[in-house]
Amino acid sequence: MLTIKEMKVLEKNSEQYGITEDILMENAGRGIAEILLTKFKVEKKKVLIAAGYGNNGGDGFVAARYLQKKGVDVSIWLVGSPENIKTSVAKMNFNKIDKTISVHWDIPMDDLNKVDLVVDALLGAGLRGNLSEQYRYAVDTINRSDAEVVAVDVPTGFGTDLFVNADATITMHDIKEGMNTHNCGTIYIVDIGIPHDAMLYTGMGNMLLYPVPKKEAKKGDNGKVAVIGGGPYTGAVYFALMGALKIGADLAYAIVPESINDVMAAYSPDIITIKYNGEHLNKEIISIYSPSDYNAIVMGMGIGRGGEIERTFCELIKKTDRPMVIDADGLHAIKKHLSILNGKKAVLTPHRGEFEMLTDIKLDNDLDNKIIQVKKFAEKIDQVVVLKGVIDIVTDGRSVKLNRTGNSRMSVGGTGDLLSGIIGGLIGKGMDLYNAAVLGTYINGFAGDIAFNKKRWSMTTSDVIDELSNVFITHNV
């Protein structure tokens, strides 16, 4: 089962494998026609395709073409004028319709009742708000007819106050979220040719999930992120903070020992520092740490190791009721205390060595076996795990996504801290943990690839930070 956005991501990612929008529409229309022919025996029936202006209508135009080739008495009810067809691929397929296929701009009820089957190709998944008057009229007309009704993808108006009462629905690739036999009738699935790699790997389509700020947003609406780290090291905390800010979080707070507070404040005026007594992570932080002040917590980088540090870190996790990203020394701190994650929401971001340390499992070199190992661990702890590597593995124990953006120069210190901050920033902006981890790995690696193309082997994490803005520009987000 897919959400509407997830389906759009797959369609966009398919382009990277040569399966363009017009190919997907051709496959969809042909599949619709085949199901109508085999399951509904329309060869001797009168079929009317009610088509809208978008790609749902385009699927209907292609289906009409295939039905006509099989000798079916098919006609089209285009709800409006051809000039209103919105997408180029739908317009292209409208222009391919054989001249012998009748196209109507309106259908009187008497004529509609002479039709045996109506194909609802008005609007597909992803409708925002209620139907316009034009579509409400069309839906109401179809619902009052005596004809059998088959919807394309989802019934028009699905999820609103008025929708097509479909006897069956032919959906693309997979069932969409919310679909069932009560609101869609019998459900058939058409394989539209989305490549396996487009489903398994991240791609440009994942940028469609990025939570673009609303025009009326005010300071803080797009995320307040706290980074708890530092003591022996400061750079790791800085990289995480910049990851959160550069990905679009509004506010980033460094919660650090007093000994490095001035250093952190000097890194950038964009950073807000909150200090506690001491030179490293210790119990003094507990009294000043208020998780409810933030939307996401990024923690563990640069804290060092040792008994007091690890005990304090575990106490912080127990106190935290916000989504967390745990990295670096924080992973070492929880190795013997994984049960403290029970009931929490966390993303763990280990590299190979840290994963093996956490789990006492030797990772297989075979990718398929490695995926199984990481997935089992994520399922066991019921958290999201990002295994960083040549191919990143992201899993919540149920779903798995692989990422191959990035390059070998990203072994330079700090890129992992940057990734944690990016993921934390996306969570702070409202994304769920799994999709934030998936998108974060893609963006971090993509920025690294832009930087590498400019700097080659002299690339540093600061160079990757500088290119994060170009990820948005390249993807037109």
Clarify whether residues 166 and 246 are in a common domain. Answer: no
- Domain boundary (194, 229, 257) is at 194
The answer as to whether 40 is a domain residue is yes
Clarify whether residues 82 and 115 are in a common domain. Answer: yes
The answer as to whether 440 is a domain residue is yes
Clarify whether residues 97 and 158 are in a common domain. Answer: yes
- When divided into structural domains, the chain yields a total of 2
Strand order in the sheet with 73-78: 103-104, 73-78, 46-51, 117-121, 148-152, 168-172, 186-190
Clarify whether residues 359 and 437 are in a common domain. Answer: yes
Confidence at residue 110, expressed as pLDDT on a 0 to 100 scale = 75
Clarify whether residues 163 and 220 are in a common domain. Answer: no
Confidence at residue 127, expressed as pLDDT on a 0 to 100 scale = 77
- Domain boundary (194, 219, 235) is at 194
- Which CATH number fits the domain that encloses residue 14? 3.40.50.10260
Clarify whether residues 172 and 247 are in a common domain. Answer: no
Confidence at residue 89, expressed as pLDDT on a 0 to 100 scale = 96
Q: Which CA distances in Å does 29 have to 127, 224, 305? A: 20, 46, 60
Amino acid at 144: R
Contact (CB, 8 A) for 257 and 283: no
pTM for the whole structure: 0.94
CA separation for the pair 187, 363 (Å, rounded): 41
CA separation for the pair 53, 134 (Å, rounded): 11
Grouped pLDDT means (10 residues each) for the chain, 477 residues? 92 96 98 98 96 96 97 93 92 93 82 91 84 92 95 94 96 95 97 97 97 95 97 96 98 98 96 97 96 98 95 98 97 97 98 97 97 98 98 98 98 97 98 98 98 98 98 97
Clarify whether residues 462 and 324 are in a common domain. Answer: yes
Clarify whether residues 266 and 164 are in a common domain. Answer: no
The answer as to whether 248 is a domain residue is yes
The domain in which residue 16 lies consists of 4-194
The answer as to whether 454 is a domain residue is yes
Q: Which of 213, 279, 208, 292 shows the shortest CA–CA distance to 250? A: 213
- Domain boundary (171, 194, 217) is at 194
Amino acid at 367: L
Contacts of 271 (CB under 8 A, 6+ apart): 238, 241, 252, 253, 254, 264, 265
- Which CATH number fits the domain that encloses residue 311? 3.40.1190.20
The answer as to whether 199 is a domain residue is no
Clarify whether residues 232 and 359 are in a common domain. Answer: yes
The answer as to whether 359 is a domain residue is yes
DSSP secondary structure letter of residue 320: -
The answer as to whether 307 is a domain residue is yes
Contacts of 179 (CB under 8 A, 6+ apart): 1, 154, 158, 169, 171, 187
Clarify whether residues 239 and 316 are in a common domain. Answer: yes
Clarify whether residues 277 and 231 are in a common domain. Answer: yes
The answer as to whether 27 is a domain residue is yes
Q: Residue length, the chain?
A: 477
Clarify whether residues 295 and 339 are in a common domain. Answer: yes
Q: Is 105 exposed, middle or buried (0-12, 13-18, 19+ CB in 10 A)?
A: exposed
